[in-house]
Amino acid sequence: MHKFVAIVGTNSDNSTNRKLLQFMQKHFADQATIELVEIKGLPMFNKPEDKQIPAQAQAMAKQIDQADGVIISTPEYDHSAPAALMNALEWLSYYVNPFADKPVMITGASYGSLGTSRAQEHLRQILDSPELRARIMPSSEFFLGHSLQAFDDDGNLVDQTKLAKLEGLFADFQTFVDITKQLNHANAANKQEIHDIDWANR
């Protein structure tokens, strides 16, 4: 059984993105172990000269490193991923490399009708950067629009069409994870290149 880390891509206490990941954790419990990870509480990234990252970010990096894959659920603010999520990813690229060649599935929930489409595109660009180098599952976005009405009182998805889409994408992600494990010949070199990035002169 696969083990996944699911990052709640917001520092909000009340988020339908957290609710979506909690639903996935419960709904797919017989297929995979999904551990939710919060980004709340991380300080602003400030490129510390001693190269030390906060204990919370170190723990997140260890969880990601030990997982088979990562699921990120992002809100959309001003046509982009939230600053809090980008801040977390900055810490997770600073002299650490947990995302290098790590399979990632992106989801998103929003109050409007588009379901974080622009934020997900933005997040893909960030995850594909030289500092992170994640392997993002292609053509796999899950958009949950009108998210305030998307769940019943028990936290289950109401729209059966959306549920079928999510189930299909999750099955595809598990296959993607297995395939990605075979694409590891440059992993050591990728991690070394990330580690050697000259942050001091940037």
Query: Using one digit for the tens of pLDDT, what is the confidence trace for 26-80?
Result: 999 999 999 999 999 999 999 998 989 999 999 999 999 999 999 999 998 888 8
pTM of the predicted structure, to 2 decimals: 0.94
CB atoms within 10 A of CB 69: 26
Q: What is the pLDDT of residues 70-108, one digit of tens each?
A: 999 999 888 889 999 999 999 999 999 999 999 999 999
Mean pLDDT, the chain, integer: 93
Q: Are 134 and 72 in contact (CB under 8 A)?
A: no
38 in helix, strand or coil?
A: strand
Mean pLDDT to the nearest integer, 175-202:
85
Q: Are 157 and 23 in contact (CB under 8 A)?
A: yes
Kindly tell me the number of DSSP H helices and DSSP E strands found in the chain.
6, 6
- In residues, how long is the chain? 202
Q: What is the pLDDT of residues 141-156, one digit of tens each?
A: 899 889 989 899 999 9
Domain that holds residue 24: 2-201
CATH number at 12 reads 3.40.50.360
Report d(CA 187, CA 25) in Å as an integer: 29
Q: Which two tokens stand for residue 16?
A: 């339908």
User: In this predicted structure, which of 63-77, 133-147, 183-197 has the lowest mean pLDDT?
Assistant: 183-197
Checking if the pLDDT of 113 tops 80, the result is: no
Q: Which residue has the tokens 């395939």?
A: 179
For the chain, how many structural domains are there in total?
A: 1
Mean pLDDT to the nearest integer, 118-147:
92
**CB crowding 123-146: b at 16 or more within 10 Å, else e:** bbebbeeebbbbbbbeebbbbbbe
Q: Which two tokens stand for residue 103?
A: 């399979």
pLDDT tier at 197, thresholds 50, 70, 90: confident
Distances (CA, A) of 68 to 38, 65, 152, 181: 18, 8, 30, 9
Largest CA distance in the chain: 52
Pick the closest to residue 102 from 135, 132, 126 (CA basis).
135
User: With the CA atoms of 173, 38, 156 and 71 taken in that order, what torsion angle do they form, in degrees rounded to the nearest 10?
Assistant: -10
pLDDT tier at 202, thresholds 50, 70, 90: low
* Residue 120: per-residue pLDDT: 92
Mean pLDDT to the nearest integer, 177-190:
89
pLDDT tier at 194, thresholds 50, 70, 90: confident
* Residue 183: per-residue pLDDT: 86
Q: Which residue has the tokens 């595809």?
A: 172
Distances (CA, A) of 3 to 31, 35, 106, 177: 9, 8, 16, 10
